[in-house]
């Protein structure tokens, strides 16, 4: 009982920081948690989820809690790392009774056969997209990650890693420019974990919220995570002080407080992200194309052969690069395929479209053959 009054009083006292502030607790969460606090439940952030159980960091340390109440049939509503949970103050087992509505969420499609979304991380503010400068830039791939990031609700940030491998400053500035053009509204930051260049800027950006690292294998995510975490030892010690047992070390957690402020979520599943119903996200990545499309004569313009098409006009005039439009179409197609797996109605439509297209294709090639004979 004294536990509960400690939480409510310490949280409202303006001169003391709430013990969970380092893990993202703020006034907004506190207000939303009020009804649960009134029931005597403790707030905590989920730092790891296993089968049937999870680790929740509360003001009293890490609580191992049962997730039976927050494991509904809908896989997107299953409690996940980053959630703010309401936990029983006592009991064996202690249960997570509920979690607060998510501000943002990362989801991905699971296997190709059973396409249901899987929730990967919740309440992420910054999506750090790691792109290695050791390889040639793949702008299409960056756009794909950007779509996923925007879709989640988090603010994307592109980090060009291994900048030490591009010693020529002018060359580097061109690469940064290329990515900036591809990612309007997104900060692009060259960094090197080897020399430490740019790490201070990144540290400052991520200090104000929860971040995740996205990017293909070898992009330098782990190295970057270590650079942000500094000496892991500090982190481990801090956790041990909190729970007083030293059972949980950094290796068992997918959510870590950064020494420079902010929180980093690094769940293994986030590494090979797919695109999951990210149509709005795709629209945000290609905002300039969607703006042009709004000026097409027909609102359902496919920008193929329609008259009064603003997209094709921009393409012809050279203000819209062909690569951008192709990438946009590719991502939309990819997205529709993913959505179609779960949406039978759309699947039927796509099937119809496909049959129409192939019928058209047959007609075209027959016409061509006919023309050849003439």
Applying CB under 6 A, which residues contact ligand GTP?
A: 161-162, 164-165, 192-194, 215, 217-223, 271
Note whether 106 and 270 are within 8 A (CB): yes
Report the alpha-carbon distance of residue 276 to residue 163 in Å, rounded: 31
Q: Please report how close the Cβ of residue 312 comes to ligand GTP at its closest, in angstroms.
A: 39
Residue 112 touches which member of ligand GTP, Zn ion, none, C-beta under 5-8 Å by kind: none
Binding at 217: pick from Zn ion, ligand GTP, none (beta carbon under 5-8 Å per type): ligand GTP
368 is in an annotated binding site: no
Is 110 annotated as a binding-site member?
no
Instruction: Report in angstroms the alpha-carbon separations of 73 from 78, 117, 294, 320, 343.
Output: 8, 12, 39, 45, 18
132: annotated binding-site residue? no
Question: What does 244 interact with, of Zn ion, ligand GTP, none (CB < 5 to 8 A by kind)?
Answer: none
Task: Look at residue 284 and give its three-state secondary structure.
Answer: helix
Determine the Cα–Cα distance for residues 186 and 128; give it in Å rounded to an integer: 10
The site string for Zn ion over 280-319 (x = CB under 5 A, - otherwise) reads ----------------x----x-x-----x-x--------
> How far apart are CB 293 and Zn ion at their closest, in Å?
6
Q: Which does 301 bind (CB under 5 to 8 A by kind): Zn ion, ligand GTP, none?
A: Zn ion
246 is in an annotated binding site: no
Taking the complex as a whole, the smallest distance from the CB of residue 196 to ligand GTP amounts, in Å, to 9
Task: Supply φ then ψ for residue 60, to 5 degrees.
Answer: -95, 5
Residue with smaller CB distance to ligand GTP, 192 or 335: 192
Residue 178: which residues within 8 A CB-CB, separation 6 or more?
137, 139
CB 330 within 8 A of CB 278: no
Distance CA 40, CA 25 (A): 18
Binding footprint of Zn ion, residue count (CB under 5 A):
5
What is the rounded distance in angstroms from the CA atom of residue 213 to the CA atom of residue 223? 11
By C-beta, is 94 or 162 nearer to ligand GTP? 162
| Closest by CA position to 279, among listed 147, 108, 162 | 147
Which of the 8 DSSP states describes residue 211? E
173 is in an annotated binding site: no
Q: Is 280 annotated as a binding residue?
A: no
Of residues 139 and 309, the one with the C-beta less far from Zn ion = 309
Task: Give the residue numbers of the binding site for GTP.
Answer: 161-164, 215-223
Task: Give the residue numbers of the binding site.
Answer: 161-164, 215-223, 296, 301, 303, 309
């Amino acid at each position: 009982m004294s536990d509960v009054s400690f939480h409510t009083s310490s949280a409202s006292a303006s001169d003391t920081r709430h013990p969970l502030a380092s893990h993202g607790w703020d006034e907004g969460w506190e207000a939303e948690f009020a009804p649960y606090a009134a029931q005597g439940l403790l707030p905590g952030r989920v730092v790891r989820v296993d089968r049937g159980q999870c680790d929740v960091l509360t003001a009293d340390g890490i609580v191992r809690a049962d997730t039976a109440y927050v494991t509904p049939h809908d896989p997107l509503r299953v409690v996940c790392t980053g959630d703010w949970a309401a936990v029983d103050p006592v009991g064996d087992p202690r249960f997570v009774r509920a979690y607060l509505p998510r501000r943002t969420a990362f989801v991905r499609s699971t296997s190709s056969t059973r396409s249901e979304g899987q929730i990967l991380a919740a309440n992420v503010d910054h999506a750090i997209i790691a792109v290695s400068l050791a390889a040639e830039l793949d702008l299409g791939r960056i756009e794909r990650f950007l779509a996923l990031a925007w879709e989640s609700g988090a603010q994307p940030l592109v980090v060009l890693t291994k900048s030490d491998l591009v010693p020529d400053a002018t060359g580097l500035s061109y690469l940064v420019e290329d990515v900036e053009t591809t990612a309007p509204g997104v900060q692009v930051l060259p960094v090197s974990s080897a020399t430490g260049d740019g790490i201070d800027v990144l540290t400052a950006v991520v200090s104000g919220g929860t971040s995740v690292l996205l990017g293909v294998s070898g992009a330098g995510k782990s190295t970057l995570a270590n650079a942000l975490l500094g000496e892991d030892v500090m982190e481990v010690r801090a956790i041990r002080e909190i729970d007083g047992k030293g059972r949980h070390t950094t290796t068992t957690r997918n959510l870590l407080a950064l020494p420079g402020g902010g929180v980093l979520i690094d769940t293994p599943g986030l590494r090979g992200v797919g695109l999951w119903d990210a149509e709005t996200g795709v629209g945000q990545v290609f905002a300039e194309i969607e703006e042009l499309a709004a000026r097409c004569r027909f609102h359902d313009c496919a920008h193929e052969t329609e008259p009064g098409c603003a997209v094709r006009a921009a393409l012809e005039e050279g203000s819209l690069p062909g690569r951008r439009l192709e990438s946009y179409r590719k991502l939309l197609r990819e997205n529709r395929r993913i959505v179609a797996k779960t949406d039978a109605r759309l699947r039927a439509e796509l099937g119809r479209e496909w049959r129409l297209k192939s019928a058209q294709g047959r007609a075209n090639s027959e016409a061509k053959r006919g023309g050849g004979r003439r």
